A and B are shown apart, each in its own frame.
Chain A
Amino acid sequence: AQSVTQPDIHITVSEGASLELRCNYSYGATPYLFWYVQSPGQGLQLLLKYFSGDTLVQGIKGFEAEFKRSQSSFNLRKPSVHWSDAAEYFCAVAVNNAGNMLTFGGGTRLMVKP
């Protein structure tokens, strides 16, 4: 069965600094990969996704992620963080023959210092 690990439960960065959130997955083949963001009391908003092709994917709000097959990773990056980026970030995987079932990582809570 597939699994997702987000090693960092909490991360604090200063506004304007760069950000990298880590995501590692476990699956025998190439999964479909997603990053979602959740603001307090809200549902999940899709930031970006990787299905195939170019391993560097661009998303909304200035985020990007890079799929590295050799490291089973799909890390999320942003060059300059804004205070409004403070939220919880979830990495998720979907696999063939499992429909739309998403397996989520535990999430990383991002705090932004002024």
Chain B
Amino acid sequence: KAGVTQTPRYLIKTRGQQVTLSCSPISGHRSVSWYQQTPGQGLQFLFEYFSETQRNKGNFPGRFSGRQFSNSRSEMNVSTLELGDSALYLCASSIKAGAVADTQYFGPGTRLTVL
């Protein structure tokens, strides 16, 4: 079974631009979560989607948004990029969402560099 795929793998943008990252979960997985990884802040939860609905959101500004499609694929968007948005963005998928945590499987990430 194919793993979580993320596109693109690398991205360079300039301040003020916007960016869209894509995540395709493992087949049959309906929950997709996004994380930001930086050297200073470590791994931080951005949001989780299940059945096209945002179920949880981390402590990030409104410039960070996401969505999920009916085939469970997800995109996240960052508008008005800042230098501090440079990070590895990781996507994770799991079979279910809800009150009980499920095992998540991570993709290889998208490395975003903001100049």
User: Which of A46, A99, A103, A105 is in CB contact (< 8 Å) with B105?
Assistant: A46
Residues of B near A90 (CB, < 8 A) are: 43
Contact A99 B106 (CB under 8 A): no
| A45 at the B interface (CB under 8 A) | yes
Tell whether A49 pairs with B103 under 8 Å between CB atoms, given A99-B55, A100-B94: yes
CB nearest to A45 among chain B residues: B106
Measured CA separation A64–B24 after assembly (Å): 30
Residues of A near B4 (CB, < 8 A) are: 43
- The residue in B31, B35, B90, B100 that gathers the most chain A C-beta atoms within 10 A of its C-beta is B100
Residues of B near A34 (CB, < 8 A) are: 103
- Which residues of B approach A to under 8 Å, CB–CB? 4, 31, 33, 35, 42-45, 48, 50, 55-56, 58, 90, 92, 94, 97-109
Enumerate 23 A-B pairs (CB-CB under 8 Å) in ascending A order: A32-B101, A42-B108, A43-B108, A46-B106, A51-B101, A96-B99, A97-B99, A98-B56, A99-B31, A99-B97, A100-B48, A100-B55, A100-B101, A100-B102, A100-B104, A101-B33, A101-B45, A102-B33, A102-B35, A102-B92, A102-B101, A103-B45, A104-B44
